[in-house]
């Protein structure tokens, strides 16, 4: 069944989901803050044209008559996006918050949406959107989750309801990210140090003996690529992870260090690798070292 769908924010996640649905399956609109800036407007307009999406100049225009609203902005802008959109929501419109935020941030956004008459759903995206596109695994939580999950499945998407209030899905995502994004930071710190000391072959051989189930060169390549391309967004997410831990009364030392590493790798003026078979981790490390040492 065709739905009128609005994306607030039309970056990688939104475009991947839409591309998975294919052309003309749904009527899709978007408002992205980059449309307000002449220097970035063309980027969003071109992306919309590629995927058959209607760009809107205001949140009000984008939200008009939308059946489902998917918020896919950066983690630090998620609550602000809810605040900006709330005056234009109609009673019963569904706001799906796919952003990587702390549970407390999602509760705050939910308050804005529900006060405007909307139905807020906590959604956690549990894997990279490529290559799964619209079939990327989603966790959904909150009072409307059971009602909305079948609609998402029909789009099609791949939701799974988790028990609990708003923030339950986000808690799973945030706490898992301590390990996933933290391993990326550890990979960078270990590999760069090994290459700088000229002992990378011995280090990787030792790691392979300790953890024989992991292809360390391939995993290292993948972790570097994720941080070099998406480090800024990952850093914003990890700041929400730190907030999650603080809300739980726990220290966030590892998470804070992960934020710094993700930012360093994203800020390095080095093109991200594209093919693990052509570029090994040592090559990436040599390219990054001058930038990391000076940062």
Q: What is the distance between the alpha carbons of residues 21 and 175, in angstroms, rounded to a whole number?
A: 30
Q: What is the distance between the alpha carbons of residues 51 and 64, in angstroms, rounded to a whole number?
A: 20
3-state secondary structure (DSSP) of residue 123? strand
Model confidence at 252, pLDDT cuts 50, 70, 90, reads: very high
3-state secondary structure (DSSP) of residue 72? coil
Write down the pLDDT at residue 93.
96
The reply to whether 142 and 186 lie within a common domain is no
In CATH, what number is assigned to the domain containing residue 213? 1.10.1040.10
DSSP assignment letter at 143: T
The reply to whether 130 and 29 lie within a common domain is yes
Write down the pLDDT at residue 276.
53
Residue burial 75-109, b: 16+ Cβ < 10 Å; e: rest: bbbbbebbebbbebbeeebbbbbbbbbbbbbbbbb
At residue 282, φ and ψ (nearest 5 deg) are -60, -40
Catalytic residues: 173
Is the pLDDT higher at 215 or at 139?
A: 139
Write down the pLDDT at residue 240.
97
With 70 as the cut, is the pLDDT of residue 112 above it? yes
The reply to whether 33 and 85 lie within a common domain is yes
Q: What is the pTM of this model?
A: 0.92
The reply to whether 224 and 174 lie within a common domain is yes
The reply to whether 71 and 197 lie within a common domain is no
The reply to whether 233 and 98 lie within a common domain is no
The reply to whether 183 and 86 lie within a common domain is no
> Which residue, of 166, 183, 210, is where some domain finishes?
166
Q: Per mean pLDDT, which range of 59-73, 105-119, 154-168, 218-232 is the poorest? A: 218-232
pLDDT tens digits, residue range 2-14? 689 999 999 999 9
The reply to whether 132 and 178 lie within a common domain is no
User: What's the whole-number mean pLDDT along residues 172-180?
Assistant: 97
Write down the pLDDT at residue 50.
96
- For residues 155 and 134, is the Cβ–Cβ distance under 8 A? yes
Write down the pLDDT at residue 237.
95
Sign of CA dihedral 116, 71, 32, 230: positive
> Which residue, of 113, 145, 166, is where some domain finishes?
166
Dihedral, CA atoms, 216, 218, 220, 222, nearest 10 degrees?
-150
Range of the domain at 34: 4-166
Q: What angle do CA 162, 70, 13 make, to 5 degrees?
A: 90
pLDDT above 90 coverage of the chain, percent: 88
- For residues 207 and 224, is the Cβ–Cβ distance under 8 A? no
pLDDT tens digits, residue range 24-38? 789 999 999 999 999
Write down the pLDDT at residue 1.
56
Average pLDDT over the chain, rounded to an integer: 94
Write down the pLDDT at residue 124.
98
Show the tokens assigned to 187: 């990979």
DSSP string computed for 195-254? HHHT-HHHHHHHHHHH-TTS-HHHHHHHHHHHHHHHHHHHHHHHHHHHHHHHHTT---HH
Q: What is the distance between the alpha carbons of residues 184 and 78, in angstroms, rounded to a whole number?
A: 24
User: Structural domain tally of the chain?
Assistant: 2
The reply to whether 125 and 180 lie within a common domain is no
pLDDT tens digits, residue range 261-287? 999 999 998 887 776 555 688 889 999
Write down the pLDDT at residue 275.
65
Write down the pLDDT at residue 279.
66
Q: What is the distance between the alpha carbons of residues 188 and 183, in angstroms, rounded to a whole number?
A: 9
Q: What is the distance between the alpha carbons of residues 121 and 142, in angstroms, rounded to a whole number?
A: 6
User: What's the whole-number mean pLDDT along residues 10-19?
Assistant: 97
Show the tokens assigned to 259: 């934020």
Q: What is the distance between the alpha carbons of residues 202 and 179, in angstroms, rounded to a whole number?
A: 25
In CATH, what number is assigned to the domain containing residue 86? 3.40.50.720
Write down the pLDDT at residue 49.
96
> Which residue, of 135, 166, 197, is where some domain finishes?
166
3-state secondary structure (DSSP) of residue 141? strand
With 60 as the cut, is the pLDDT of residue 142 above it? yes
pLDDT tens digits, residue range 204-247? 999 999 999 888 888 998 899 999 999 999 999 999 999 999 99
Q: What is the distance between the alpha carbons of residues 62 and 93, in angstroms, rounded to a whole number?
A: 13
Write down the pLDDT at residue 3.
82
Sign of CA dihedral 120, 125, 129, 131: negative
The reply to whether 223 and 150 lie within a common domain is no
The reply to whether 135 and 247 lie within a common domain is no
With 70 as the cut, is the pLDDT of residue 84 above it? yes
The reply to whether 48 and 102 lie within a common domain is yes
- For residues 40 and 16, is the Cβ–Cβ distance under 8 A? no
With 60 as the cut, is the pLDDT of residue 165 above it? yes
At residue 119, φ and ψ (nearest 5 deg) are -110, 115
């Amino acid at each position: 069944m065709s739905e009128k769908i609005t994306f607030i924010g039309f970056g990688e996640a939104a475009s991947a989901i839409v591309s998975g649905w294919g052309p003309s399956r749904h009527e899709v609109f978007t408002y992205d803050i980059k449309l307000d800036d002449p220097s970035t407007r063309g980027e969003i307009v071109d992306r919309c044209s590629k995927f058959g999406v209607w760009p809107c100049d205001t949140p009000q225009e984008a939200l008009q008559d939308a059946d489902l609203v998917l918020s896919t902005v950066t983690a630090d802008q998620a609550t602000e996006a809810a605040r900006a959109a709330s005056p234009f929501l109609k009673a019963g419109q569904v706001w799906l918050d796919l952003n990587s935020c702390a549970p407390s941030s999602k509760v705050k956004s939910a308050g804005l949406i529900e006060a405007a008459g909307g139905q807020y759903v906590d959604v956690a995206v549990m894997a990279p959107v490529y290559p799964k596109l619209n079939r990327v695994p989603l966790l959904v939580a909150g009072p409307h989750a059971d009602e909305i999950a079948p609609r998402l499945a029909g789009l099609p998407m791949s939701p799974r309801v988790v028990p609990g209030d708003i923030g339950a899905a986000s808690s799973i995502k945030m706490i898992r990210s301590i390990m996933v994004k933290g391993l990326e930071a550890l990979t960078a710190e270990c590999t760069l140090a090994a290459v700088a000391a000229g002992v990378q072959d011995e280090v990787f051989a030792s790691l392979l003996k300790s953890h024989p189930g992991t292809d360390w060169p391939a995993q290292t390549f993948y972790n570097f690529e994720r941080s070099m391309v998406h480090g800024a967004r990952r850093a914003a997410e990890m700041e929400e992870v730190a907030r999650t831990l603080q809300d739980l009364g726990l220290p966030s030392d590892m998470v804070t260090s992960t934020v710094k590493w993700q930012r360093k790798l994203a800020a390095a003026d080095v093109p991200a690798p594209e093919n693990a078979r052509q570029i090994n981790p040592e090559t990436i490390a040599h390219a990054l070292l001058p930038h990391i040492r000076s940062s």
